[in-house]
Amino acid sequence: MRFIDEARVYVHAGKGGDGAIAFLREKYRPFGGPAGGDGGRGGNVIFEVDEGLSTLLDFKYQPRLIARDGQPGRGKQQYGRAGDDLTVRVPPGTVVLDDETGEVLADLVMPGERAVIAKAGEGGRGNMHFATPTRRSPRIATPGTPGEQRWVRLELRLVAEAGLVGLPNAGKSTLLAALSAARPKIAPYPFTTLTPNIGRVFASEEESFTIADIPGLIEGAHLGHGLGIRFLRHLSRTRLLVYVLDASAEPEKGFATVRGEIGSFDAALLERPALIALNKIDLMSSEIVRETACELERALKLRVFPISAAKRIGLAPLVAQIAQMLNEIHQAAAPCPN
């Protein structure tokens, strides 16, 4: 299945049905009076989170979402039937924005969460409401109001607690595959990963977290070089950044490049808690690895964990530290007890 994380769709809620003009003409009720019923409400366009979805691909083939109109009122004070709501399933992490103003209409994260994106029109009033002692046969009814219609932009932002960032071919996908059941494409050339991947990591039998692999960044990514920075939006929900650096390819310079591109996209991401996974240590001697790790910790003021994702060396301390930091972040964000 293709991974699509952006879509533009037209939503149109249903129009309310018109009120009716009618009069009772029954035997033995010669003066039955006005009996036009109200029109039915139109249908809303509702977005609902479905945890079984992971892409916005469906919206590429169905860019118009139109709910049903309400039925008009009828005689004998009968109300028109309301239009059915159009419920549209979206993946967790979908942000809905007004395409014209950029206003965020909904941020849908939790399974089952719902939001009305286009509100239905109300039904018109029938002439039974307009009878008065001096106006016994009103020929007045109101039309139904139109439903909301607009173009909206959908952006999918992965719901992951930690994010793997780094230069191309630093080993992010290999690390994700080593830590979780995710199976991203892995190959010995840059830009193997063309779309974000997500997996669940189990730190223990009781504790787990989700982690996302963001496609590699290069210098000038914020200007559109390489794959650009369009996938960095998926870091917006992460609470922790894991910089994956190639120990054999000037890791401090690689860190500066990646951090600079992240800052160009959103400076607020630079304030997130972070640590460093110094990868590919199996290609170096243990003494050089130790020196490189110590130099990075002194220079960058971040915890450094030497690992080999390919050989699965040093992964347990890294997972334990990520779990501990996430737990501390969750506790700090929790509301104080009354």
Summarised one tens digit per residue, pLDDT across range 308-329 is 999 999 999 999 999 999 998 8
**What's at 203, amino acid-wise?**
A
- Residue 83: its pLDDT value, please? 94
- Residue 244: its pLDDT value, please? 94
Bridge partner residues of 47 (DSSP): 88, 115
- Residue 229: its pLDDT value, please? 66
CATH number of the domain located at residue range(s) 162-333 in this protein: 3.40.50.300
The reported pTM is 0.76
pLDDT < 70 regions, the chain:
1-2, 28-31, 184-194, 218-230, 334-338
**What's at 79, amino acid-wise?**
Y
Which is nearest to 235 in space by CA: 107, 93, 52, 53? 93
* Same fold yes or no, 1-156 and 162-333: no
Three-point CA angle 265, 111, 11, nearest 5°: 70
Burial class (CB in 10 A: 0-12, 13-18, 19+), 25: exposed
Q: Could you tell me whether strands 64-66 and 6-12 are parallel, antiparallel, or unpaired per DSSP bridges?
A: parallel
H-run or E-run covering 288: helix 286-300
Q: What are phi and psi of 299, to 5 degrees?
A: -75, -40
Burial class (CB in 10 A: 0-12, 13-18, 19+), 144: buried
Domain regions of the chain by residue span: 1-156, 162-333
Three-point CA angle 308, 311, 317, nearest 5°: 50
CA dist 308 and 285 (Å) reads: 13
- Residue 194: its pLDDT value, please? 60
CA dist 278 and 280 (Å) reads: 7
Q: Answer yes or no: are the C-beta atoms of 82 and 121 closer than 8 Å.
A: no
DSSP secondary structure, 192-207, as one string: ---S-EEEEEESSSS-
Q: Answer yes or no: are the C-beta atoms of 77 and 24 closer than 8 Å.
A: no
Q: Could you tell me whether strands 208-213 and 162-165 are parallel, antiparallel, or unpaired per DSSP bridges?
A: parallel
- Residue 173: its pLDDT value, please? 87
Exposure class string for 199-227: b at 16+ Cβ within 10 A, else e: bebebeeeeebbbbbbbbbbbebbeeebb
CATH number of the domain located at residue range(s) 1-156 in this protein: 2.70.210.12
> In this structure, what token pair is assigned to residue 184?
């991203």
Could you give the maximum distance between any two Cα atoms of the chain, in Å? Answer: 106
In sequence order, which residues have a C-beta less than 8 Å from that of residue 145 and are 6 or more positions away? 15, 16, 121, 122, 124
- Residue 185: its pLDDT value, please? 63
Q: Answer yes or no: are the C-beta atoms of 14 and 70 closer than 8 Å.
A: yes
In sequence order, which residues have a C-beta less than 8 Å from that of residue 332 and are 6 or more positions away? none
